[in-house]
Structure 1
């Protein structure tokens, strides 16, 4: 045996003719296929391949439905906002109405209280007038009052002298004589005689001597008769200070440029010339 007999041969084993033929056929088929594919690829390379993807699209009905849904949502939001605004306005109006009602009740209560006070004052004034009539009646029964001459001088402090002739006659003379007889008596607010007077109390009581009923206060006495000019005064005319209807003081013109009035608590009832305190106007009742 050769000394290399145990070493395997590195040469490839021989293949049979049939195997070679099969492989040649396969190779040929493959080459043919590749040739056809190459030709087909060359042909296809001349014309680009375009592939279209079909994407889902909304139909017209679906689009309309979506638009309607959006409009409905927007309208609902607008309605909610409008309702909220109406609710806020209603709440504000209710609060204002409540405040107005409270204010109206307050004013009504104040008006009621004022009316009650006016009623009490009127009742007190009626009672006072009743007492005055009683006093005046008693005074008339005793013949109170002395007739003074036309140049009679009052006894009050600072009393002026009537230097002119009085032309008072009849009822006017009665009033003039009465007020002159009260000169020197005290001034007391609200008093109507016989020992004290306030300004309107003296005038009212003087006219009662001739059965003429005058209002109690100066404001009303200043409109109780016919307005006359201060340049055309007659004895018995009522003089007033302030505006007609809102006078704050009254007196009686006694003639000769003189008047008698219950002036104040310092002077009492006095007779003074018109120049001492010029009146604003005058009314004639007789």
Structure 2
């Protein structure tokens, strides 16, 4: 006997052939069943309709929808308010511009009206002066040649001339000759000659040549003699402007519708037709 015969073998005991056969049969049956089931499942899958999957989105709740609507209304209202304000601003700017233009136009019309009124007044004054001059000259023209006090003759002449014939004798002729000889001299307030005169100074000095003493100022000279009509003037008569007793200017009538006077600093002593500056009245001293 071997010395290892009494030790058990470490190898697993071999299975019997019958056990293996049984197990093989079971395994084969299972595989066959799986194969048949797989084939059947594939066939069913091929014949089945495709599956469609539907996704359902969440819906808005009533509160959220209300909030969205309110926000949209508020936005729309704000836009309308902005548009309305813009329209109001534009209208205000347009109104202010129009008001400014209207004011400027009104001022221009007022200034034009004022100028027109001033021009009308000037023209009316000019016409009045011319008409007065024409009246006086017409009176002279209609009278023709007239005898004055039997010693002096005055012939009517047309306006604007200083060549009308006039004759005066005695004291009147001396006064007329003197004042004409002073034409061209200067006007100086308060002066009585011989190189300059004011209006009353010339008249006073002229009458002094024939020994007649007159008051110094025009107010008193306008009442120094007898009041006479401007239609009955004689050479040597004193003409005055203003009213008797308060005259502001005087001169000497030299005949032919002319007078000599110390008018102002611009003209000095001049000889002019009565229409140049129509006198108010006259006094006769001679």
TM-score range, shorter chain: 0.3 to 0.5
TM-score (norm 2): 0.44
Larger Rg computed on CA atoms:
2
TM-score (norm 1): 0.44
